[in-house]
Amino acid sequence: GEEKWPRGDQKTWTSSMRNVFTETSDVTKSIVNHVQTSLARAPYNLDDFGAYQAAALATRDNLIVNWNETQIHFTRKQPKRAYYLSLEFLMGRTLSNALLNLGIQPQTEQSLSSLGFSIEDVLVQERDAALGNGGLGRLAACYLDSSATQELPVWGYGLRYKYGIFMQLIKEEDGSQLEAPDPWLEHQNPWELPRLDVVYEVRFYGSSERLNDGSGRAVWSGGQEVLAVAYDVMIPGYGTRNTNNLRLWESKPKRGFDLQSFNAGDYEHAVEASNSAAAITSVLYPNDHTTFGKELRLKQQYFWTAASLADMMRRFKNMDKPINEFAEYNAIQLNDTHPTLAIVELMRMLVDEEDVPWSQAWTIVTNTFFFTNHTVLPEALEKWPVPLMQHLLPRHLQIIFDIVRRFFLSVEKKFPGDVARLARMSLIEEGFPQQIRMANLAVVASRKVNGVAELHSELVRKNLFPDFVEFFGKSKFSNVTNGVTPRRWLDQCNPALSQLITDTLKLPRDVWLKDLYKLEGLLQHVDDPKLQKSWAAVKRQNKERLAHFVEQMFGLKVDASAMFDVQIKRLHEYKRQTLNILGVIYRYLLLKNMTPEERKKVNKKVVFFAGKAAPGYYVAKLTIRLIVNVSRVINADPDTNQYLSLFFLPDYSVSLAEVLIPAADISQQISTAGTEASGTSNMKFCLSGGLLLGTVDGANIEIAEEVGEDNVFFFGHLTPDVDKLRYEHTYHPVPVEQKCPELAKVLDAVSSNIFGGNGVYEPLLNTVRQGDYYILTDDFDSYIRAVEMVDEAYQDQTEWIKKSIRTTAKMGKFSSDRAIQDYAQEYWNIESSRVSE
């Protein structure tokens, strides 16, 4: 029957209920209230960190109110929902974003000021939530922001790692990278709601018995069971009450102690079992673009997908719809192959637990899942050994083999007798051991497959999955070019530019921030000297902020009138930080050989690097060491250091990016053509009016299409050339002295130990001298010429500023709002619904 709501007197309830506090006086009361109660601290002698905690708690209360309304709204409405499954969410700081999205930034600033605090000092107290490695994880965070802003019923699902990406230290003695743990939860995390009532059991190991009743069902039993506990992170939309959910799972033992072992006196064994359960969500794997086949990583993947699917199934069942309608109410986006086990798990749930016949279950599954590929690098394509899968997930291996068998039959039917094709398309790679190709599984079971930029999506079709395109047809494979949220990556990190844009467009900020194509309106003002002057002043102000930051860190003066040239991203050979540092050395050697008079004509430049290397990636770590040691020599050289200086900023993070990006005159996006799927920092720099120096790769191409080729600096060989060049390197190698003498001189300078090292850099230099897989010897000359063009262009400041304005003006396409709209309409088929005021 109908439940009576509320208990007690409705008026008493409603008259006591609060809404979002938007009045400054209410914000102040709430902050002080949290100081007195939640923090139990005396109001006087409160420090900046205490003020941060109180402001965070006050803001969180507002978020909770909206979050609750949103969850009730969508539970009542029962729309189709989309779920974004990602092992990484690189969120960064939350407070400033929450204040912006709630529209209470000015009130909170005022309130803090009247309590004696400056909001800038308070905001930087927050630690980053760094549950991700790089681009893939940050993309997930941008997509959550855009989903909430567009009032779409989208939830994220991930893991609540106790340790996020490691903290990077640079050793004083030799300049190399050291990793330290990131215990980000040490001080309570106000942005999550522990849901100790939302718990699922997840099984590992054991055995699977098929029921021989012709149903295809099996019973999986025994093994180890662990608990998945939900922690909900609130994701506010900008300019809306809609506040979505990011649900992160934490693992814990089912029982604190295994009583049986305990009674038997085997205390250590009992404690071990409880440790191994907690270990599952203990740490984020810090490898980007490589797979290691570690059992714990597979455990993470299954733990997360099993808990997430159980949760979705429970929500679906609460709606009382027939199971066959599952795909009408649920769309699941797989962020890379990491969550591919979700496909197998849903099959298991449908067949074994819901008693759905195999072919019906397969129809449901193949209508539910969508798969995004983020790389074509072979070392990043996940494969899991069959024996490991057999041991850890015996039932899932059976299901995988059942999928393989049926898929083989259908390929055989379409292409009879084509054994080679079957081998290429198989989900199982033969070998010792056999391996499961997760990408092939994801493709076979998904309704659509997409790459993340036009060129990349083309390579996905032509190089990665050509047989599957032939088999399933072209329309299953498409493109969604990545995007970034303009709230964080323009308004928050570059408030002065945001204000200038608002003034110039004569549009309210919230209009253009939700419809980024409106930036095009800047084009009519490009020639306005007043705008040019203000534009340059904003850039200068951001450069001074960065200069100040670096001066504090290194105790060295930074000239904010010099060109700021920035490359910040994970260290990887394909991203070619090596090309950049070799170019810097080349420039240094040139400067050294000039007379003081000649030097005065040179464009002054400050080069910034930042980024982490995977702890086991030897060559990438050597690159960091080289950059650091080159910087020590260059910055200390009185002949040249007014003209060229170099900084490697340690511990790259979302918050550091927020300082670096607005200050860049130019960014380097110089991956070997065809290797960077999209890139997203390229979009962020351009949004802040930093020009692009790059290769014809990933989203660089689409950026150039938007802003025009004369506003970007392109260089290097094109994607179709790369295979041929590599072939030449292997079969007709030409010594670098002959092929590229300028580069050879640079390599020799490093070898001669002018930057110290005593020969340690040889393995790094040899990646260029021998094999040169990333074609530095082919691109170096063209790169140096492009850098010269950049220098020349910078001499004409007015022209440069115009290029900068034009660049920002054409960034509309690269809003993650556009990307999420694409997914919502073309993939998920979900609709917006606004939570009422």
Active site residues: 374, 569-570, 575, 680, 684
- Residue among 611 and 662 whose Cβ is closer to ligand Z15: 611
3-state secondary structure of 635: helix
Q: Does 135 bind ligand Z15 (CB under 6 A)?
A: yes
> Minimum distance between the CB of residue 608 and ligand Z15, rounded to whole angstroms?
20
Pairing of strands 207-210, 218-221: antiparallel
Q: Could you say which DSSP state residue 555 is in?
A: S
- If you count them, how many residues does the chain have? 837
- Residue among 534 and 680 whose Cβ is closer to ligand Z15: 680
3-state secondary structure of 192: strand
- Six-digit token pair at 97? 């974003």
Q: Does 134 bind ligand Z15 (CB under 6 A)?
A: yes
Among 73, 93, 217, 289, which residue sits at the site for ligand Z15 (rule: CB under 6 A)?
289
Distance, CA of 156 to CA of 231 (rounded, Å)? 12
- Based on the number of CB atoms within 10 Å of its own CB, is 149 exposed (0-12), middle (13-18) or buried (19 or more)? buried
**Is-contact 266 128, C-beta < 8 A?**
no
> Minimum distance between the CB of residue 674 and ligand Z15, rounded to whole angstroms?
11
Q: Could you say which DSSP state residue 824 is in?
A: I
- Helix 341-348 to helix 438-445 angle (10° resolution) is 60
- Based on the number of CB atoms within 10 Å of its own CB, is 662 exposed (0-12), middle (13-18) or buried (19 or more)? buried
CA atoms within 13 A on the CB side of 483: 25
> Minimum distance between the CB of residue 178 and ligand Z15, rounded to whole angstroms?
23
3-state secondary structure of 63: helix
> Minimum distance between the CB of residue 795 and ligand Z15, rounded to whole angstroms?
32
Nearest 5 degrees, angle CA 413-CA 415-CA 419? 105
Over the window 361 to 390, marking each residue x when it contacts ligand Z15 by CB under 6 A and - when it does not, the resulting string is -------------xx----x----------
Among 336, 658, 697, 772, which residue sits at the site for ligand Z15 (rule: CB under 6 A)?
336
Q: Does 697 bind ligand Z15 (CB under 6 A)?
A: no
> Minimum distance between the CB of residue 365 and ligand Z15, rounded to whole angstroms?
24
> Minimum distance between the CB of residue 168 and ligand Z15, rounded to whole angstroms?
17
Among 698, 716, 757, 812, which residue sits at the site for ligand Z15 (rule: CB under 6 A)?
698
Among 31, 87, 102, 139, which residue sits at the site for ligand Z15 (rule: CB under 6 A)?
139
- Residue among 479 and 580 whose Cβ is closer to ligand Z15: 479
- Residue among 324 and 463 whose Cβ is closer to ligand Z15: 463
Among 653, 655, 678, 808, which residue sits at the site for ligand Z15 (rule: CB under 6 A)?
678
Helix, strand, coil shares of the chain as percentages rounded to 5?
Answer: 50, 15, 30
- Residue among 140 and 227 whose Cβ is closer to ligand Z15: 140
Q: Does 694 bind ligand Z15 (CB under 6 A)?
A: no
> Minimum distance between the CB of residue 662 and ligand Z15, rounded to whole angstroms?
20
- Residue among 580 and 682 whose Cβ is closer to ligand Z15: 682
In angstroms, the Cα distances linking 127 to 40, 189, 191, 275, 659 are 21, 9, 12, 27, 15
Among 258, 676, 697, 702, which residue sits at the site for ligand Z15 (rule: CB under 6 A)?
676
- Residue among 58 and 283 whose Cβ is closer to ligand Z15: 283
Question: HEC string of 807-822?
Answer: HHHCCHHHEHHHHHHH
Stretch that binds ligand Z15, among 55-63, 93-101, 178-186, 674-682 (CB under 6 A): 674-682
Over the window 441 to 460, marking each residue x when it contacts ligand Z15 by CB under 6 A and - when it does not, the resulting string is -----------x--------
> Minimum distance between the CB of residue 610 and ligand Z15, rounded to whole angstroms?
16
**Is-contact 535 805, C-beta < 8 A?**
yes
Report CA dihedral (624, 629, 632, 638) to the nearest 10 degrees: -120
Distance, CA of 224 to CA of 274 (rounded, Å)? 10
- Residue among 117 and 370 whose Cβ is closer to ligand Z15: 370
Q: Does 629 bind ligand Z15 (CB under 6 A)?
A: no
- Residue among 140 and 744 whose Cβ is closer to ligand Z15: 140
Stretch that binds ligand Z15, among 393-401, 673-681, 743-751, 823-831 (CB under 6 A): 673-681
- Helix 438-445 to helix 394-414 angle (10° resolution) is 70
3-state secondary structure of 267: helix
- Based on the number of CB atoms within 10 Å of its own CB, is 403 exposed (0-12), middle (13-18) or buried (19 or more)? buried
Q: Could you say which DSSP state residue 677 is in?
A: S
CA atoms within 13 A on the CB side of 330: 29
- Based on the number of CB atoms within 10 Å of its own CB, is 559 exposed (0-12), middle (13-18) or buried (19 or more)? middle
Q: Does 606 bind ligand Z15 (CB under 6 A)?
A: no
> How many CB atoms lie under 10 A from the CB of residue 157?
27
- Residue among 465 and 647 whose Cβ is closer to ligand Z15: 465
Q: Which residue, judged by CB position, is nearest to ligand Z15 in the bound state?
A: 135
> Minimum distance between the CB of residue 572 and ligand Z15, rounded to whole angstroms?
8
Q: Does 288 bind ligand Z15 (CB under 6 A)?
A: yes
- Residue among 150 and 700 whose Cβ is closer to ligand Z15: 700
Q: Does 144 bind ligand Z15 (CB under 6 A)?
A: no
- Count of residues interacting with ligand Z15 (CB under 6 A): 19
- Six-digit token pair at 794? 């910078």
What are the CB-based long-range contacts (under 8 Å, 24+) for 785-794? 785/715, 786/693, 786/713, 786/714, 786/715, 787/583, 787/587, 787/693, 789/713, 790/563, 790/565, 790/666, 790/691, 790/693, 790/713, 791/563, 791/602, 791/603, 791/605, 793/713, 794/563, 794/603, 794/665
Q: Does 677 bind ligand Z15 (CB under 6 A)?
A: yes
Among 91, 136, 246, 649, which residue sits at the site for ligand Z15 (rule: CB under 6 A)?
136
Among 147, 308, 680, 804, which residue sits at the site for ligand Z15 (rule: CB under 6 A)?
680
Report CA dihedral (312, 314, 320, 324) to the nearest 10 degrees: 50
> Minimum distance between the CB of residue 689 and ligand Z15, rounded to whole angstroms?
21
Tell which positions 99-118 bind ligand Z15, by CB under 6 A: none
Q: For tokens 């159980």, what's the residue?
A: 310
> Minimum distance between the CB of residue 670 and ligand Z15, rounded to whole angstroms?
13
**Is-contact 307 228, C-beta < 8 A?**
yes
Over the window 395 to 434, marking each residue x when it contacts ligand Z15 by CB under 6 A and - when it does not, the resulting string is ----------------------------------------
> Minimum distance between the CB of residue 380 and ligand Z15, rounded to whole angstroms?
5
Tell which positions 472-531 bind ligand Z15, by CB under 6 A: 482
- Residue among 133 and 711 whose Cβ is closer to ligand Z15: 133
Interacting residues of 139 by C-beta distance below 8 A, sequence separation 6+: 335, 452, 482, 680, 816
Binding site residues, ligand Z15, CB under 6 A = 133-136, 139, 288-289, 336, 374-375, 380, 452, 482, 676-680, 698
